[in-house]
Amino acid sequence: MKSYNSFDVTQQQVREAARLLNLDEATIELLVWPQKEFKFTIPVRMDDGSVKIFHAWRIQHNYARGPAKGGIRFHPDETVDTIRALAGWMTWKTAVVDLPLGGGKGGVKCDPKKMSERELEQLARGYVRAVAEHIGIDRDVPAPDVYTNPQTMAWMMDEYETISHHHQPGVLTDKPLQIGGTEGRRDATARGGVTTVREACNILGVDPTKNFAIQGFGNAGQRAALLHEEILGGGKLVAVSDSRGAIFNADGFNPKELVTYKLTTGSVVGFPGSRAISHEEVLEANVEILYPAALENSIDEKNAPRIKAKIVCELSNGPTTPEADLILYKKNIHVIPDILASAGGVTVSYFEMVQDSYSYFWEESVVHHRLDQKLTKAYHRVQEAIREKKVHPRLAAMVVGVARVAEACKLRGWV
């Protein structure tokens, strides 16, 4: 399989969109590079008494439209280029759904599965001590990402408030409800994605109550399984995979029972009534709708010709390679790109920032309604760009996002 540098891919996407928008070279150069990058080390005293040094980053890709926004991931394979790419995708994601935010991302190179809770807390607090002067409600607002969670954010917020001597819950989002989190955040990414699928089905005449498949059964995949029926009025989940294996049942799985089984056993493998299949068979299943919610570059030039779904809703970051994008477009398979499909999470994180700023919190139904409005409007704006520019959906979404960020940069007089 061809190897991809995610940051190179994002830069290529920006340049393609910029050409369609006739942007000048200075503006393009500004948009393809992060505005600020911070590299630092975090010493942590481990449970055995030794001190381990962890390498970490925080990258602010662009803040022309507002404070940088993006998660912090703890992962053993973290690199500066993966974080640069993810920070850039956050810039375009917030712009596509028209939020007054920029894009950022952070990461620590570590293996959280081999660390105790105490060690993880010390790492989280050390991260905040390193970046405290560079983050804030009006600068850069982090959130959880891979192997971080609301508890991580609670530790980080507490450390930030200890340093600043002020109560500032809005400095981080996706916190526990008891300390400034918002209703509706847990399922926001999947809810936003399924909402865009609803709009796509209406436009394309696809029946959402037929078969669908989910590649990756983490939080987003599980929530998509549960929300598919609620938002789309039905549907039969016939193929599912996670990191340990993949399963199939032509009669469909009960989403609630499957999620419970996954949470209990740690995998979908062995679910009663299922038969084992390959990961590739999940992607290539004969379904109406496919949700890639796992790894980057899962759909490539080799398997793209065998994709049968009519709609591909990208709940993970970068699941489709550039070559595969073109193949799917030529096959008339409608891809809802990640910067649109998975934007529900950052949208509700923005809602959390708003609520924290004036200490008044909305009912869950209000959060759901406003999320629906945002994602529906964004989906149709991307559809307009597809028709206007006659390009595939990912490039159309990039055109929408890049145009909005470029305009903000020009209005500020940066270029």
For residues 47 and 405, give the distance between their C-alpha atoms in angstroms, rounded to a whole number. Answer: 46
Same domain assignment for residues 136 and 222: no
Helix (H) or strand (E) holding 31: helix 25-32
Same domain assignment for residues 142 and 187: no
Active-site residue 105, yes or no? yes
Same domain assignment for residues 282 and 337: yes
CA nearest 70: which of 39, 46, 45, 92?
A: 92
Q: Are 103 and 49 in contact (CB under 8 A)?
A: no
Amino acid identity at 99: L
- First vs last Cα of the chain: how many Å apart? 39
Q: Are 286 and 181 in contact (CB under 8 A)?
A: no
Tell me the whole-structure pTM to 2 decimals: 0.94
| Rounded-to-5 percentages of helix, strand, coil across the chain | 50, 20, 30
DSSP category for residue 14: H
Q: Evaluate whether residue 15 is within a structural domain.
A: no
For residues 46 and 146, give the distance between their C-alpha atoms in angstroms, rounded to a whole number. Answer: 22
Q: What is the CATH number of the domain that holds 351?
A: 3.40.50.720
Last residue of a domain, one of 114, 145, 179: 179
Last residue of a domain, one of 154, 179, 204: 179
Q: Evaluate whether residue 283 is within a structural domain.
A: yes
Q: Evaluate whether residue 116 is within a structural domain.
A: yes
For residues 237 and 285, give the distance between their C-alpha atoms in angstroms, rounded to a whole number. Answer: 11
Q: Which two tokens stand for residue 95?
A: 């712009």
Last residue of a domain, one of 160, 179, 198: 179
| Domain of residue 111, residue span | 35-179
Same domain assignment for residues 311 and 372: yes
pLDDT in tens, the chain (415 residues): 566 788 998 999 999 999 999 999 999 999 999 999 999 999 999 999 999 999 999 999 999 999 999 999 999 999 999 999 999 999 999 999 999 999 999 999 999 999 999 999 999 999 999 999 999 999 999 999 989 999 999 999 999 999 999 999 999 999 999 999 999 999 999 999 999 999 999 999 999 999 999 999 999 999 999 999 999 999 999 999 998 999 999 999 999 999 999 999 999 999 999 999 999 999 999 999 999 998 778 999 999 999 999 999 999 988 999 899 999 999 999 999 999 999 999 999 999 999 999 999 999 999 999 999 999 999 999 999 999 999 999 999 999 999 999 999 999 999 9
Q: Which candidate in 69, 105, 175, 374 is catalytic? A: 105
Q: Evaluate whether residue 72 is within a structural domain.
A: yes
Q: What b/e readout covers 316-354, taking b as 16+ CB neighbours within 10 angstroms?
A: bbbbbbbebbebbbeeebbbbbbbbbbbbbbbbbbbbbb
